[in-house]
Amino acid sequence: MNLIDETHDPARRSWIDSANGHAAFPIQNLPLGIFSTASRDRRIGVAIGDQIVDLRGLAEAGLVDDRWLAALVRPTLNDWFAHGPVEGRALRRLLSDLLSGEAQRAAVNPHLVAQADAAMHLPCAIGDYTDFYVGIHHATNVGKQFRPDQPLLPNYKYVPIGYHGRASSVRVSGEPVVRPKGQRKAPEATAPDYGPSRRLDYELELGMFIGRGNDLGQTIPIGQAAAHIAGYCLLNDWSARDIQGWEYQPLGPFLAKNFLTSISPWVVSPDALAPFRRAMPPRPAGDPAPLDYLSDDRDRERGALGVTLDVTLLTKAMRKAGHAPHVLSHGEAAAAMYWSAAQIVTHHASNGCNLMPGDLIGTGTLSTADAGGLGSLMEISAGGKAPLALPNGEVRSFLEDGDELILSAHCEAPGAVAIGFGECRGRVLPAR
């Protein structure tokens, strides 16, 4: 799994000039997504520099393995992801060769589209979306606000906690965030009322797409779990904290979350991320060992996701004044996952629940241990008790209408060409 091979070679350059030195999409990345243009209906593409390779075009022109044709001409990635990691790696190698070899230029050129001319769509038809809670610093920070003496519940270090989210309201970056209405009850109020959320928040997460699935009633052994992950994206689990606080007992978050979930459009493969894996932080002394079904030395050896996460905020006033977005958080939050991606997958299927190609799984909010990389305003503003002062004099406890929130991610490692995930953006519109 996740071999470092010639596709990662830092010396490899593309004949597409914009790819060389590109912050997100050099030839070492090659993420897949779904795009359309005025003349091309929805189809699979590969990001390279500021261009997209029309993969359906390549496939129909006979430039890929015939056995891949049926999956690569589809308007979603589900069927391709179902092919699994071996063929995924073979496609990556092929694309790396086509886009680096000058001899292929003439054949590939007709299938290039400028990203500026393309609209991006959801990578997959998402059958089920599940959100986990593996960011231990986030879980601790939030838990402290409710239970200062016991921030983490007794199950946290045994169970990768997760719950089902709403698949129909997952949207790609750029979808407007209509402020949701709902029932809100202030602690001192005797009854709730229904109206626009006053505590609209974001949650910084990674998303992962399932590749091959498992049949109902079958499990996914931990040693095989990584091979079921097709790739990663950024995910914003927009959250209305006032609705959440009133509704969530006893069955968990519902309307506080399901009005929208935004993801970045490009799916970064486990292969592209391989050079950036880093040693997993040791399990804190005194923590229980994972139960056997979640335990795998090779999973630990593969390491933590070496992804640096950034969140910036652009308010309406900042936009008018031409200011740059303000950095809300920056850090190695992905390395703070108490449970690995493989453990998440294995746990999800540990009761025989069938995962399907194209299913989306969120990690849960990722925050660093320090205050510089907190993944939500609820943490940054301490639940509204410590509003954040912005450089232009505005303050924020939660998001206001007109605010735009931008998630981004990049990966760096010595001896490797850096790659990025692109962005996941959303601007808040007033309640309807």
Q: Which residues are catalytic?
A: 138
Residue 288 interacting with a copy of itself (CB under 8 A) = yes
Tell me the closest approach of the beta carbon of residue 238 to a copy of itself, in angstroms: 11
Of 18, 293, 319, 388, the one binding a copy of itself by CB under 8 A: 293
Residue 261 interacting with a copy of itself (CB under 8 A) = no
Residue 191 interacting with a copy of itself (CB under 8 A) = yes
Residue 79 interacting with a copy of itself (CB under 8 A) = no
Nearer of residues 54 and 359 to a copy of itself, judged by Cβ: 359
Tell me the closest approach of the beta carbon of residue 130 to a copy of itself, in angstroms: 8
Residue 255 interacting with a copy of itself (CB under 8 A) = yes
Nearer of residues 310 and 379 to a copy of itself, judged by Cβ: 379
Q: 241 vs 247, 317, 412, CA distance in Å? A: 10, 24, 34
What is the contact mask toward a copy of itself in residues 116 to 135, using x (rule: CB under 8 A)? -----------xx----x--
Beta bridge partners of 422: 409
Residue 249 interacting with a copy of itself (CB under 8 A) = yes
What is the contact mask toward a copy of itself in residues 154 to 173, using x (rule: CB under 8 A)? -x--xx-xxxxxxxxx-x--
Tell me the closest approach of the beta carbon of residue 22 to a copy of itself, in angstroms: 33
Residue 186 interacting with a copy of itself (CB under 8 A) = no
Contacts to a copy of itself from residues 337-376, by CB under 8 A: 347-348, 350-356, 359
132 half-sphere exposure, CB direction, 13 A CA radius: 28
Cα separation of 131 and 125, whole Å? 17
Of 217, 282, 322, 414, the one binding a copy of itself by CB under 8 A: 217
Residue 292 interacting with a copy of itself (CB under 8 A) = yes
Of 6, 17, 117, 193, the one binding a copy of itself by CB under 8 A: 193
The alpha-carbon radius of gyration of the chain (Å, integer) is: 21
Which residue ranges make up the site for a copy of itself (CB under 8 A)? 127-128, 133, 153, 155, 158-159, 161-169, 171, 176, 178, 180-183, 185, 191-194, 216-219, 240, 243, 246-256, 258-260, 288, 291-293, 347-348, 350-356, 359, 432
